[in-house]
Amino acid sequence: MEFASALSSRDLLDLSGFKRLDSTTLASLSIAPSSVAKTHKGLATLPVRLSSPEPIFHYLFVKPHDPQYTPIINAHPNINGRSLFLSSIPFDTTVHHLRALFIAIGGGRIETVIFSDEPLPSRPIMPDEDQLIKNRKRKRSHHPDGTAQTAETLQWPPLWNRKLHAPDTTAVAVFVDHAAFELAVKAINSNSTDNPKNDYVWGSGIGKGNFIPELGKSRYEDHHVRMFPDPEWLQKFADDSLEKYDKRLKAEEETRRRKANEPDEDGFVTVVRSSRPRPPLSAEEIAERLKKEEKRAKKGYHPDFYRFQQRELKKEQAKKLLSQFEDAKRSLQERKGRKKP
């Protein structure tokens, strides 16, 4: 037996005390909708049968959406009265799944679905709102830390062909209009756990035009292919990103320089780094410098360490002696000159 296979524990797998999970066992674990309450804590229960040979049910909990959550309102200003809040959504939920579900149970048409684990689109700014922001002096709202710009740049290509949802993900289904929403609420009530005829299978009824990538093996193989995009495309992506970054840096620099000279509406000038001379040193700084110099002096300086230094030193000494000799000669001549008359 090879060592690596010993580690895999597959060959030595001791399955005593275990039983293969077959359809019957799984079905025996399943909870029939009839045993689940129709509502819980104000949310209606909507059973959906999962696509498996065994009758396995998943339970969605639904209620009319009360849009108090500000970012949602900002992103979707007009969803009041036509949105439905869903929790415990299956991990593979897409907008197509929910559309197909509500069509199957007789609900209205869904315009869009907002998932809690997906970023909200940026809010469209109205002309009057722009004025409002100025009045409120929200001067630094644009790019306080530079992240605002990055959103404008090119997005990285996705590494996965399909987004899957963690168990704590919720969704808000936005219907085309209020009437559709009303229809959906009615459909939920009539197809809740007390309706034995509800046999909608999750994922059925999605149109062929709405392509949803498969799960399983192909998902992970596709992921590995996506990790290595086409080199040319990748080069272009990097070039574009860096070009934009350069432009942004230049623009920032220009803005900074401009602001350094222009007072704003209140008369303040933004203080930025400039090429002006530094203010005079404080007493402590001077003391520190002096200390450093003293240390350096103590450490010692050897002017005659190298041969060239010695040569230069000798030259200087010779020069000095020569100049002294010249001086002495001159002064002697001067004295002699004084004595002569």
Window 26 to 45, contacts with another protein (CB under 8 A) = 26-27, 29-31, 35-37, 40-41, 43, 45
- Paired with 46 in beta bridges are 60
Residues 50 and 56 sit within 8 Å (Cβ to Cβ): yes
Contact at 8 Å (CB) between 202 and 49? yes
Stretch that binds another protein, among 3-11, 134-142, 281-289, 314-322 (CB under 8 A): 3-11
Taking the complex as a whole, the smallest distance from the CB of residue 266 to another protein amounts, in Å, to 29
Neighbours of 169 (CB within 10 A): 19
Reported as type and span, the H/E element at residue 86 is strand 83-87
Is 76 a binding residue for another protein by CB under 8 A? The answer is no
Q: Which of 15, 271, 283, 297 binds another protein (CB under 8 A)?
A: 15
Euclidean distance between the first and the last CA atom of the chain, given in angstroms as a whole number: 124
Angle at 297 between CA 293 and CA 301, to 5 degrees: 130
Hey, which residues between 77 and 106 contact another protein (CB under 8 A)? 85, 87-88, 90-92
Q: Hey, which residues between 263 and 322 contact another protein (CB under 8 A)?
A: none
Among 120, 119, 52, 114, smallest CA distance to 89 is for 114
CB of 13: closest distance to another protein in angstroms? 6
User: Applying CB under 8 A, does 24 fall inside the site for another protein?
Assistant: no
CB within 8 Å of 89: residues ≥ 6 apart: 60, 165, 169, 170, 171
Tokens 């999750």 locate to 202
Q: Which of 118, 129, 199, 221 binds another protein (CB under 8 A)?
A: 221
Out of 136, 197, 208, 224, the residue judged to bind another protein by CB under 8 A: 224
Q: Which member of 18, 211, 268, 301 binds another protein (CB under 8 A)?
A: 18
The DSSP output letter for 121 is P
How many Å apart are CA 169 and CA 60, to the nearest integer?
12
Site string for another protein, 163-202 (x = CB under 8 A): -xxxxx-x-x------------------------------
Under the binding rule (CB under 8 A), the answer on residue 59 touching another protein is yes
Q: Which one of 144, 209, 216, 277 is in contact with another protein (CB under 8 A)?
A: 216
